[in-house]
Amino acid sequence: MRLALGYVPLIDAAPLIAAVEGGFTAAEGLAVDLVSEPSWATLRDKLALGHLDGAHMLAPLAVASALGISGPETDLVVPLGLSLNGNAVTVSRPLWAEMAPEGPDLDTIARAFSRVARVRVTEGRPLTLGTVHPFSCHTYQLRMFAARGGLDLDAATRLVVIPPPWIAQALRSGQIDGFCAGSPWNSVAVAEGYGRIVALGCDLAPDCPEKVLALPAYAAETSAALVRAVRRAGRWCAAPENRGELASLLAHPSHLGIDPGLIRRALAGTVVRDADGTESRAARFVVFGAEAEPPRPDQADWILEQMGAAGQIVPNPALAERARAILRPDLYAAALAD
């Protein structure tokens, strides 16, 4: 039997892509087809309807799908984390010029952003910001960025959902004024000359659970071989000596189809913020391997807290218990024991 595993074209799909392309799944006796999906909604629905056997998935979306608050209610388990961090907030160059922050620190930039947003909304032309899905760390990090400047994001901006591969294009065309997305799409906007990175996700919410391996619950007891393969691939991705090979793999037209140099910089934690070449070093810009692997029930608590702050749910003990049950450290441990 062949497995179909879905992913959205992002750098943090690396453990799943490397697991298949690097032979880690074959070494476990698994036949796997990688399926690139254009959007998180499409991936969510295909997983729910049985067209995918597993997926690289937003951690909050996995919880939301299992709780039945995003798409069809889906009985999911998460036996493995794939990555931490990896996101950034980017604005258009005209908006950056309008912001004209007085200093380079995050709080000063957030206050400048908030000042412009308040002016725009009073003029009847609120800022339009892109996120990749309502149930995502990207949405929550946009809220955190606005809050650092004292801004109520809901009251002062318009938030729209755009699939990750198209979000930089939406900024270039002027359909949005800024966005929060995963790497490499922020760097693409900078490299192509129309975007400026203003905040890193790892500074807004350090080590938040970003992507996970999500499987249908019926596959839980047979997941050990897949968990081992993707775990080994994640550790290979985390090794600095493999960055060049990994960047070339991800850059291939069948995956991300972009300049491998942009990917290498992200893997190394070197973030070029603007067309002038302003750089930031962020060692934990995107994290693979041992630190990202174990699914922890307390991660569900953090996710529910963010959902509550965004007005998506009313947290309660019963909801927390259901959300915690999705994250399965027991399956992770059993795979390693085998």
The 10s digit of each residue's pLDDT in 154-168 is 999 999 999 999 999
CATH code where residue 95 lies? 3.40.190.10
Nearest to 4 by CA among 26, 34, 37, 38: 34
CA distance 208 to 205: 6
Residues 34, 122: one domain?
no
Confirm whether 48 is domain-assigned: yes
pLDDT at 1 over 80: no
Residues 138, 28: one domain?
no
Domain boundaries, position 112: 87-204
Residues 245, 149: one domain?
no
DSSP-derived 3-state class of residue 131? strand
Residues 184, 213: one domain?
no
Long-range contact pairs involving 284-287 (C-beta distance under 8 Å, separation at least 24): 284/84, 284/85, 284/202, 284/206, 284/207, 285/85, 285/86, 285/183, 285/200, 285/202, 286/11, 286/12, 286/83, 286/84, 286/85, 286/86, 286/183, 287/83, 287/84, 287/85, 287/86, 287/207, 287/238
Confirm whether 272 is domain-assigned: no
Domain's final residue, options 141, 176, 204 = 204
The 10s digit of each residue's pLDDT in 199-241 is 999 999 999 999 999 999 999 989 999 999 999 999 999 999 9
Confirm whether 245 is domain-assigned: yes
Indicate the length of the chain as a whole number.
338
Report the domain count for the chain: 2
The 10s digit of each residue's pLDDT in 300-321 is 999 999 999 999 999 999 999 9
pLDDT, residue 95, reads 98
Confirm whether 270 is domain-assigned: no
Interval 40-47 mean pLDDT:
98
CA distance 308 to 315: 6
On average, the pLDDT of the chain sits at 97
Interval 263-287 mean pLDDT:
96
CA distance 135 to 113: 23
Tokens of 285: 């810009």
Confirm whether 137 is domain-assigned: yes
Residues 97, 136: one domain?
yes
DSSP-derived 3-state class of residue 104? coil
pLDDT at 338 over 90: no
Give DSSP secondary structure letters for 151-176: --HHHHEEEEE--HHHHHHHHHTTS-
Residues 153, 92: one domain?
yes
Which residues make beta-bridge pairs with 131? 161
Confirm whether 268 is domain-assigned: no
For 32, phi and psi rounded to 5 degrees? Answer: -130, 135
Within 13 A of 308's CA, how many CA atoms are on the CB side?
12
Sign of CA dihedral 66, 206, 273, 114: positive
The 10s digit of each residue's pLDDT in 49-84 is 999 999 999 999 999 999 999 999 999 999 999 999
Which H, E and C letters describe 40-68, residue by residue?
A: HHHHHHHHHCCCCCEEEEEHHHHHHHHHC
Interval 94-122 mean pLDDT:
97
Interval 107-126 mean pLDDT:
97
Confirm whether 278 is domain-assigned: no
pLDDT, residue 278, reads 94
Interval 122-137 mean pLDDT:
98
CA distance 183 to 154: 25
Q: What percent of the chain has pLDDT over 70?
A: 100
Residues 122, 72: one domain?
no
Domain's final residue, options 204, 219, 243 = 204
Greatest pairwise CA separation for the chain in angstroms:
62
Residues 219, 235: one domain?
yes
Domain's final residue, options 204, 234, 267 = 204
Residues 31, 94: one domain?
no
Residues 312, 228: one domain?
yes
Confirm whether 328 is domain-assigned: yes
Residues 168, 312: one domain?
no
Residues 162, 78: one domain?
no
DSSP-derived 3-state class of residue 252? coil
The answer for residues whose C-beta is within 8 angstroms of residue 36's C-beta and 6 or more apart is: 6, 7, 8, 9, 254, 255
Give DSSP secondary structure letters for 261-328: HHHHHHHHTEEE-STT--EEE-TTSEE-STTT-S--HHHHHHHHHHHHHTTS----HHHHHHHHHHB-
pLDDT, residue 145, reads 98
Question: Strands 157-161 and 127-131, how do they pair?
Answer: parallel
